[in-house]
Amino acid sequence: MTSLEKEIIRYFEQLDRGYFMDENKELAFWDQAFSIGYGQTISQPTLVLKMTLELDLFPESRVLEVGTGSGFQTALLAAFSASVYTVERIGSLHEQAKERLGEAEFTNIHFKHGDGNQGWKENAPFDRIMVTAAAPDVPESLIGQLKNGGKMIIPIGSPHSQNLMLIEKDGEGEISSSAIEPVVFVGLVGGEE
Ligand code: SAH
């Protein structure tokens, strides 16, 4: 394990998941997903950590996150990268995450209310992309907004079961992908324009 990975784990262990929840706060330490309203969920902590480690962040990385949700994953990404651009389609979740992460004094997170299938063109390209909702295929716009040498983590599959995939773009822009493990995420709503 690298020293950065150790640091990420240490930070994660002291990050208060309950702060990002409205209900079931007292159960925040349970390793399971919980409802955050609007049919959406806060992912289980071990998965949030695993996805973050697989993304292979570095201090200068510019990260796109699709599916802000509670903002719990956003906080972890922001602590170990230069800037995070996070997109959420449900207005209330977007507002709430913005408020919570603002109060927690994160200054390197940029919030957008909108459809993350399109990424965030104005701020592309990104070194890293984290998608926290399930898609049938990797959205083309997201591949387009990934830098050469970039990495993306995304659950790909049907609404009820997916594979967590690591998508890599090499120095020549060639794409390769590998499956990490089976997962179940809520769906990425909408499609490409
Ligand atoms: N990482 C979040 C996961 C939230 S669940 C957490 O742990 O709290 C997935 C989120 O993706 C939901 O908030 C959902 O509203 C959002 N989402 C679904 N489709 C989306 C889309 N097309 N664009 C942006 N956000 C989307």
CATH number at residue 67: 3.40.50.150
141 Cβ below 6 A of ligand 1: no
What integer pLDDT is reported at residue 185 of this predicted model? 93
What integer pLDDT is reported at residue 191 of this predicted model? 64
Residue 153 is assigned to a structural domain of this protein:
yes
What integer pLDDT is reported at residue 156 of this predicted model? 98
Atom of ligand 1 minimally distant from the CA of 188? 19
Q: Choosing from 3, 35, 43, 70, which is the catalytic residue?
A: 43
What integer pLDDT is reported at residue 193 of this predicted model? 40
Residue 86 is assigned to a structural domain of this protein:
yes
Atom of ligand 1 minimally distant from the CA of 87? 24
128 Cβ below 6 A of ligand 1: no
- Contact assessment for residue 138 and residue 119, using Cβ atoms and an 8 Å cutoff: no
Distance 69 CA to ligand 1 centre (A): 5
Residue 189 is assigned to a structural domain of this protein:
no
Nearest protein CA to atom 26 of ligand 1, as residue: 67
In which domain, by residue range, is 66 found?
3-23+33-183
Active site residue 43: yes
Q: Give pLDDT tens digits for 107-163.
A: 999 999 999 999 999 999 999 999 999 999 999 999 999 999 999 999 999 989 999
Q: Give pLDDT tens digits for 35-65.
A: 999 999 999 999 999 999 999 999 999 999 9
Residue 110 is assigned to a structural domain of this protein:
yes
Q: How far is CA 137 from CA 43, 53, 120, in A?
A: 21, 22, 18
> Residue 10: is its pLDDT beyond 50?
yes
Distance 65 CA to ligand 1 centre (A): 9
183 Cβ below 6 A of ligand 1: no
What integer pLDDT is reported at residue 132 of this predicted model? 97
191 Cβ below 6 A of ligand 1: no
Residue 192 is assigned to a structural domain of this protein:
no
Distance 87 CA to ligand 1 centre (A): 8
> Residue 192: is its pLDDT beyond 90?
no
Residue 190 is assigned to a structural domain of this protein:
no
Residue 81 is assigned to a structural domain of this protein:
yes
129 Cβ below 6 A of ligand 1: no
Range 16-44 average pLDDT: 95
Q: DSSP string spanning the chain?
A: --HHHHHHHHHHHHS-GGGG-SS-GGGTTSSS-EEEETTEEEPPHHHHHHHHHHHT--TT-EEEEE--TTSHHHHHHHHTSSEEEEEESSHHHHHHHHHHHHHTT--SEEEEES-GGG--GGG--EEEEEE-SBBSS--HHHHHTEEEEEEEEEEEE-SS-EEEEEEEE-TTS-EEEEEEEEE--PBPPS---
Residue 9 is assigned to a structural domain of this protein:
yes
Domains in the chain, number: 1
Q: Give pLDDT tens digits for 60-107.
A: 999 999 999 999 999 999 999 999 999 999 999 999 999 999 999 999
